[in-house]
Homo-oligomer: A and B are copies of this chain.
Protein backbone atom coordinates (compact mmCIF):
# COMPACT_ATOMS: atom_id res chain seq x y z
CA UNK A 1 0.00 0.00 0.00
CA UNK A 2 1.38 3.39 -0.87
CA UNK A 3 2.77 5.47 1.94
CA UNK A 4 -0.03 7.57 3.20
CA UNK A 5 1.55 10.97 2.78
CA UNK A 6 -0.69 13.78 3.93
CA UNK A 7 -1.58 15.73 0.83
CA UNK A 8 -0.55 19.23 1.80
CA UNK A 9 0.06 20.63 -1.65
CA UNK A 10 3.80 20.75 -1.17
CA UNK A 11 4.36 23.96 0.81
CA UNK A 12 7.68 23.18 2.46
CA UNK A 13 7.78 25.59 5.41
CA UNK A 14 5.42 27.51 7.58
CA UNK A 15 4.79 30.76 5.78
CA UNK A 16 3.38 34.01 6.86
CA UNK A 17 -0.31 34.26 6.07
CA UNK A 18 0.15 36.69 3.21
CA UNK A 19 3.01 34.72 1.76
CA UNK A 20 0.90 31.60 1.73
CA UNK A 21 -1.87 33.47 0.00
CA UNK A 22 0.50 34.79 -2.65
CA UNK A 23 1.91 31.35 -3.24
CA UNK A 24 -1.57 30.08 -3.92
CA UNK A 25 -2.43 32.99 -6.19
CA UNK A 26 0.66 32.36 -8.26
CA UNK A 27 -0.03 28.68 -8.56
CA UNK A 28 -3.59 29.27 -9.61
CA UNK A 29 -2.59 31.88 -12.13
CA UNK A 30 -0.02 29.52 -13.57
CA UNK A 31 -2.46 26.66 -13.84
CA UNK A 32 -5.05 28.84 -15.47
CA UNK A 33 -2.73 30.38 -18.02
CA UNK A 34 -0.99 27.18 -18.96
CA UNK A 35 -4.36 25.53 -19.23
CA UNK A 36 -5.58 27.96 -21.80
CA UNK A 37 -2.51 28.96 -23.72
CA UNK A 38 -0.14 26.03 -23.45
CA UNK A 39 3.56 26.22 -22.86
CA UNK A 40 4.54 29.68 -24.07
CA UNK A 41 3.31 31.70 -21.16
CA UNK A 42 5.83 34.10 -19.69
CA UNK A 43 6.65 34.57 -16.05
CA UNK A 44 5.56 38.19 -16.33
CA UNK A 45 2.13 37.13 -17.43
CA UNK A 46 1.77 34.75 -14.54
CA UNK A 47 2.83 37.47 -12.13
CA UNK A 48 0.42 39.93 -13.66
CA UNK A 49 -2.55 37.59 -13.44
CA UNK A 50 -1.62 36.68 -9.89
CA UNK A 51 -1.42 40.40 -9.12
CA UNK A 52 2.00 39.93 -7.65
CA UNK A 53 5.38 41.45 -8.46
CA UNK A 54 7.69 39.36 -10.57
CA UNK A 55 10.12 39.32 -7.67
CA UNK A 56 7.55 37.77 -5.40
CA UNK A 57 6.98 35.06 -7.90
CA UNK A 58 10.67 34.27 -7.94
CA UNK A 59 10.87 34.33 -4.16
CA UNK A 60 8.40 31.48 -4.09
CA UNK A 61 9.79 29.53 -7.01
CA UNK A 62 13.44 29.95 -7.89
CA UNK A 63 12.87 28.99 -11.50
CA UNK A 64 10.15 28.74 -14.08
CA UNK A 65 10.62 25.03 -14.06
CA UNK A 66 10.18 24.93 -10.30
CA UNK A 67 6.93 26.82 -10.60
CA UNK A 68 5.56 24.49 -13.23
CA UNK A 69 6.58 21.55 -11.11
CA UNK A 70 4.76 23.00 -8.13
CA UNK A 71 1.61 23.63 -10.13
CA UNK A 72 1.86 20.09 -11.33
CA UNK A 73 2.16 18.79 -7.80
CA UNK A 74 -0.91 20.74 -6.85
CA UNK A 75 -2.90 18.93 -9.49
CA UNK A 76 -1.72 15.55 -8.34
CA UNK A 77 -2.57 16.52 -4.80
CA UNK A 78 -6.07 17.36 -5.87
CA UNK A 79 -6.53 13.99 -7.50
CA UNK A 80 -5.01 12.14 -4.58
CA UNK A 81 -7.32 13.86 -2.18
CA UNK A 82 -10.28 12.80 -4.26
CA UNK A 83 -8.99 9.25 -4.44
CA UNK A 84 -8.40 8.95 -0.75
CA UNK A 85 -11.68 10.44 0.28
CA UNK A 86 -13.91 8.86 -2.33
CA UNK A 87 -12.45 5.94 -4.27
CA UNK A 88 -10.91 4.29 -1.25
CA UNK A 89 -14.39 3.45 0.00
CA UNK A 90 -15.41 1.62 -3.15
CA UNK A 91 -15.11 -2.14 -2.68
CA UNK A 92 -14.83 -3.27 -6.33
CA UNK A 93 -11.37 -2.43 -7.59
CA UNK A 94 -12.32 -2.05 -11.25
CA UNK A 95 -15.05 0.39 -10.40
CA UNK A 96 -12.64 2.32 -8.21
CA UNK A 97 -10.11 2.33 -11.02
CA UNK A 98 -12.65 3.69 -13.46
CA UNK A 99 -13.61 6.38 -10.99
CA UNK A 100 -10.01 7.37 -10.49
CA UNK A 101 -9.25 7.49 -14.19
CA UNK A 102 -12.38 9.48 -14.78
CA UNK A 103 -11.30 12.00 -12.20
CA UNK A 104 -7.88 12.24 -13.78
CA UNK A 105 -9.55 12.84 -17.11
CA UNK A 106 -11.79 15.55 -15.69
CA UNK A 107 -8.90 17.43 -14.18
CA UNK A 108 -7.06 17.05 -17.45
CA UNK A 109 -9.98 18.43 -19.38
CA UNK A 110 -10.31 21.35 -17.03
CA UNK A 111 -6.60 22.19 -17.36
CA UNK A 112 -6.39 21.26 -21.00
CA UNK A 113 -3.08 22.46 -22.39
CA UNK A 114 -1.41 22.26 -19.04
CA UNK A 115 0.00 18.87 -19.89
CA UNK A 116 1.92 20.24 -22.85
CA UNK A 117 4.00 22.26 -20.42
CA UNK A 118 5.12 19.29 -18.42
CA UNK A 119 5.33 16.51 -20.95
CA UNK A 120 8.45 15.32 -19.25
CA UNK A 121 6.59 15.17 -15.97
CA UNK A 122 3.14 13.88 -16.81
CA UNK A 123 1.51 11.06 -15.06
CA UNK A 124 2.98 7.79 -16.06
CA UNK A 125 5.91 9.24 -18.00
CA UNK A 126 9.49 8.28 -17.42
CA UNK A 127 11.79 10.87 -15.86
CA UNK A 128 12.14 11.91 -12.25
CA UNK A 129 8.77 11.70 -10.60
CA UNK A 130 7.80 14.15 -7.96
CA UNK A 131 6.46 13.08 -4.57
CA UNK A 132 2.78 13.38 -5.20
CA UNK A 133 2.99 11.96 -8.67
CA UNK A 134 4.82 8.95 -7.30
CA UNK A 135 2.12 8.53 -4.68
CA UNK A 136 -0.61 8.70 -7.25
CA UNK A 137 1.13 6.20 -9.47
CA UNK A 138 1.53 3.91 -6.51
CA UNK A 139 -2.20 4.04 -5.91
CA UNK A 140 -2.88 3.09 -9.50
CA UNK A 141 -0.50 0.17 -9.29
CA UNK A 142 -2.06 -1.02 -6.10
CA UNK A 143 -5.54 -0.78 -7.50
CA UNK A 144 -4.40 -2.85 -10.47
CA UNK A 145 -3.00 -5.51 -8.18
CA UNK A 146 -6.26 -5.74 -6.32
CA UNK A 147 -8.25 -5.92 -9.53
CA UNK A 148 -6.04 -8.72 -10.82
CA UNK A 149 -6.30 -10.56 -7.54
CA UNK A 150 -10.08 -10.39 -7.62
CA UNK A 151 -10.04 -11.78 -11.15
CA UNK A 152 -11.60 -8.73 -12.73
CA UNK A 153 -8.75 -8.04 -15.11
CA UNK A 154 -6.56 -10.41 -17.06
CA UNK A 155 -3.82 -12.12 -15.08
CA UNK A 156 -0.98 -10.90 -17.32
CA UNK A 157 -1.86 -7.22 -16.90
CA UNK A 158 0.64 -5.35 -14.76
CA UNK A 159 0.46 -2.07 -12.90
CA UNK A 160 2.92 -0.69 -15.41
CA UNK A 161 0.49 -1.48 -18.21
CA UNK A 162 -2.17 0.57 -16.56
CA UNK A 163 0.16 3.47 -15.97
CA UNK A 164 0.99 3.32 -19.62
CA UNK A 165 -2.65 3.47 -20.62
CA UNK A 166 -3.22 6.31 -18.21
CA UNK A 167 -0.46 8.21 -19.86
CA UNK A 168 -2.21 7.66 -23.17
CA UNK A 169 -5.46 8.86 -21.68
CA UNK A 170 -4.15 12.24 -20.66
CA UNK A 171 -2.50 12.68 -24.03
CA UNK A 172 -5.73 11.89 -25.85
CA UNK A 173 -7.51 14.54 -23.86
CA UNK A 174 -4.93 17.05 -24.84
CA UNK A 175 -5.37 16.22 -28.50
CA UNK A 176 -9.03 15.34 -28.98
CA UNK A 177 -10.70 16.16 -25.73
CA UNK A 178 -14.17 14.99 -26.61
CA UNK A 179 -13.37 11.36 -27.13
CA UNK A 180 -11.83 10.45 -23.85
CA UNK A 181 -14.73 8.34 -22.56
CA UNK A 182 -14.55 6.13 -25.64
CA UNK A 183 -10.86 5.72 -24.99
CA UNK A 184 -11.54 4.73 -21.41
CA UNK A 185 -14.23 2.23 -22.37
CA UNK A 186 -12.10 0.48 -24.93
CA UNK A 187 -9.04 0.35 -22.74
CA UNK A 188 -10.86 -1.05 -19.77
CA UNK A 189 -12.38 -3.63 -22.08
CA UNK A 190 -8.88 -4.54 -23.23
CA UNK A 191 -7.85 -5.08 -19.64
CA UNK A 192 -10.83 -7.02 -18.43
CA UNK A 193 -11.22 -10.77 -18.33
CA UNK A 194 -13.43 -11.90 -21.24
Contacts and interface: CB of A to CB of B under 8 A. Distances in A.
A164 B182 contact: yes
Contacts of A188: 190
A186 B191 contact: yes
A144 interface: no
A122 B174 CA distance: 11
A107 interface: no
Contacts of A164: 172, 176, 179, 182-183
Interface in A75-90: none
Given A186-B191, A190-B186, A126 B176 contact: yes
A41 interface: no
A48 to B, nearest CB: 14
Interface string A179-194: 1001101111111001
Contacts of A167: 171-172, 175-176
Contacts of A126: 175-177
Interface string A155-180: 00100110111011111101111010
How many copies of this chain does one complex carry? 4
A182 B169 contact: no
Contact of A168 (B122, B157, B172, B189): B172
A32 B129 CA distance: 27
B191 A194 contact: no
Given A119-B116, A125-B175, A167-B171, A161 B182 contact: yes
Interface string A113-131: 0001001001011100000
A122 B175 contact: yes
